[in-house]
Structure 1
């Protein structure tokens, strides 16, 4: 939904700025987060200054049971999600120009970004160290197997990050490594010599919805509809995957209510009900967990769920100018007590509540807090714009800066370092 600047200013005064959010195959969307409440304490995202740090729902496993793909265990008491960013002179794992697969909305240097400091920060947990990402181990583990990222455009960036991390050790020929789009929703990177694939599947709600077309999905917030208990349509494409990484959040942010459809989308007589967003999101989590339990073998498959990716759309939150966002931000937020806006959905607590009930050992990747400090690392204005920018926009870069997605190399590579750590050292 396009929000005029006058409305944007009013929302800033209320402390709930609109979200300038870009979907990878569509023009910029302006999404307004209308309400929210603190759920940090539920997830354990509050600082140790305020309270003892709590982790997310633990991975459930029986005594003596070894999770699939694990080669060791984390240090006792090690919480890799609680830490700080430290400067790393070694730089990123790869250079933008070295990864030919980076999609244009994530290639910030190609589109004019000159500073590169955002690439040189490394995540350092407080009580331990992250194992170094090992591309050879990752590919050998994926030999004859499939890894899939499922969700929206943030999952899409997570996918491309993983591709860039592993592709550098593969000979640079088309036969050895390639990306293809098979059915529109599914994009596949294949490492031929390993018979391994890393895949991305577009399903912004996980359930069937009227936003499932990966090219034509410009559905206004209030017109988005999800079909109840319809995960199998997408799930049929997920069967046989060995490492699954789910994410869904931002597309649910439409306001107090969300539309749920009972029948199929091609039926003439359909029944649409508006329910609280938290209830709709809970329905999706229950469906996902039920599907995983029915279709995946925990002795052979690992399942991950990535938590909310933060946005930096209101600079007043970190004590800067009232009218501003991530545009022209080149430094981190160094305040360990910074948690961002209160404008977050209470539905996030549903993840913790529902996952604790799951019989399947699902690993939560808590990327929210560590990413909250990184106002410097968004794509901002340095990306391909699918619609021509107006003279008014060009005169005011803040108005079209993308403060939801991340440059590559960058923050999402750290997400994959966390994924690597939890996959091999749970």
Structure 2
């Protein structure tokens, strides 16, 4: 069988390039990773309601008349016929977020920065302003209207969960959801129902999108990825999704052995194993391509599906993960102060390229729509939006400890990640216009 990878010779040209991600991610202790992944249990509610390489350019012209259209949406008419949400700057705004850490019961504890004692709340008062257009504030009623009687699923790693919980909190300001399903496995598979609009919102833990066996404390210190097969834990339910939001990237930085069928293709950072070293960029590309191809094969038969891939979200470790100050900035980077480059740029680029290729592949199928939610650059500019030491409750109650765990990967809720869902709503409004 022919290898799915491009010429591998380039990976040996720059040892430093390969070692940079290792230094940032691979050395993080397993305990920290597991803390990031743990999600506290929520009370189980009755399941009676459970039904068994191009930057994104989005139209912001006035949508088809919908209920609850706000003045902020009307202002979008002043913009040009299209809006590039990837270019812009963060501007200070007195109007704060729609929700807070005490009014939304679905936030993972480690991202609930307010209730964990973070006092520098200036990070809550910034809005993303695109260079040549306006991004309306999130309209929960409009979002619910657009997905009435539908099922939207967030599939991927912990960034998918982070974005999901942001959306649930935003929507709950207009209509409270009911938790209608949880599998008990650290709440990695959950579903909520919004009775007001008969909307189902689910999360599926699948950090590789493709089939994978995660490393365990008692087993080999590497993951196993089967790059030609999707993870059926989410794909088996694909027929019931009306919209799917994918998020993937960070877990590909960890040591892994790669398979296609029964054949070992190689590995990433696996000293001691007699396998060819393969860069994770090629592996991520293959996994995303397999995912898109599977969705098209299973849903390209006329019943259609809306697909969104949220691009790679950069981390902001500026010191050791267990030292105070690992991500201590309290304001966004100014325009031009921080460049999108290196690993962050390459991860984002390959994801956008795969979206473009899959969109072309799916054009012949009625009802198949695909978009890149290109949030990499705007997220890169928000080093102030992570929990940092406030992944733990009141970490400085007894003074500043010598060592303190920091989360400089995920995002505080509320926080910059709410902007992702504002842009997601604009994608959905564009689709509603038939564009």
- Shorter-normalised TM-score: what interval? 0.7 to 0.9
**Residue of structure 2 equivalent to 1:396:** 403
Aligned positions of 1:203-242 closer than 5 A: 203-211=206-214, 223-231=222-230, 233-234=232-233, 235-242=235-242
Q: Which residues of structure 2 form unaligned runs of 5+?
A: 1-15, 38-52, 59-63, 65-72, 268-277, 363-368
**Residue of structure 1 equivalent to 2:88:** 83
Aligned positions of 1:26-425 closer than 5 A: 26-27=34-35, 55-56=54-55, 75-170=80-175, 177-178=178-179, 180-182=181-183, 184=185, 185-211=188-214, 223-231=222-230, 233-234=232-233, 235-254=235-254, 258-263=256-261, 271=264, 273-274=266-267, 275-297=278-300, 300-314=304-318, 324-327=325-328, 329-339=329-339, 342-344=342-344, 346=346, 348-358=348-358, 359-360=361-362, 361-384=369-392, 394-397=401-404, 400-425=405-430
The 8 Å contact of residues 151 and 243 in structure 2, kept in 1 or not, is answered as yes
Computed over aligned residues only, the root mean square deviation of the Cα atoms, in angstroms, reads 3.7
Q: Per the alignment, do residues 145 and 408 of structure 1 end up closer, same or farther by CA in structure 2, a change over 3 Å counting? A: same
Matched position secondary structure for 1:230: strand
The 8 Å contact of residues 379 and 416 in structure 2, kept in 1 or not, is answered as yes
Structure 1 Cα separation of the partners of residues 29 and 144 of structure 2: 33
Offset from partner CA, 1:334-364 (integer Å, 9 cap, x none):
1424126634484544323333222234110
Structure 2 Cα separation of the partners of residues 150 and 23 of structure 1: 24
Q: CA deviation at 1:58?
A: 6.2
Q: How many residues align structurally?
A: 354
**Residue of structure 2 equivalent to 1:39:** none
Q: CA deviation at 1:276?
A: 3.4
Structure 1 Cα separation of the partners of residues 135 and 82 of structure 2: 13
Structure 2 Cα separation of the partners of residues 371 and 83 of structure 1: 11
Matched position secondary structure for 1:294: helix
Q: CA deviation at 1:152?
A: 0.5
Q: Per the alignment, do residues 424 and 345 of structure 1 end up closer, same or farther by CA in structure 2, a change over 3 Å counting? A: closer
**Residue of structure 2 equivalent to 1:18:** 24
The 8 Å contact of residues 259 and 265 in structure 2, kept in 1 or not, is answered as yes
Q: TM-score, normalised by structure 1?
A: 0.73
Offset from partner CA, 1:13-72 (integer Å, 9 cap, x none):
x9765245999982369xxxxxxxxxxxxx5xxxxxxxxxxx52668xxxxxx9xxxx99
The 8 Å contact of residues 304 and 365 in structure 1, kept in 2 or not, is answered as yes
Matched position secondary structure for 1:376: helix
Structure 1 Cα separation of the partners of residues 220 and 158 of structure 2: 16
Greater RCO (Cα-Cα under 8 Å, separation 6 or more) = 1
Q: CA deviation at 1:299?
A: 7.0
Matched position secondary structure for 2:196: helix
Structure 2 Cα separation of the partners of residues 189 and 413 of structure 1: 19
Q: Per the alignment, do residues 335 and 131 of structure 1 end up closer, same or farther by CA in structure 2, a change over 3 Å counting? A: closer
Matched position secondary structure for 1:101: coil
Q: Per the alignment, do residues 288 and 221 of structure 1 end up closer, same or farther by CA in structure 2, a change over 3 Å counting? A: farther
Q: Per the alignment, do residues 410 and 24 of structure 1 end up closer, same or farther by CA in structure 2, a change over 3 Å counting? A: farther
Matched position secondary structure for 2:152: strand
Structure 2 Cα separation of the partners of residues 314 and 326 of structure 1: 6
Q: Per the alignment, do residues 140 and 201 of structure 1 end up closer, same or farther by CA in structure 2, a change over 3 Å counting? A: same
Offset from partner CA, 1:213-269 (integer Å, 9 cap, x none):
xxx8669996111013221523112322111110110110137xx5113458xxxxx
Q: CA deviation at 1:76?
A: 2.5
Q: Per the alignment, do residues 18 and 273 of structure 1 end up closer, same or farther by CA in structure 2, a change over 3 Å counting? A: closer
The 8 Å contact of residues 344 and 376 in structure 2, kept in 1 or not, is answered as no
Structure 1 Cα separation of the partners of residues 121 and 80 of structure 2: 33
**Residue of structure 1 equivalent to 2:270:** none
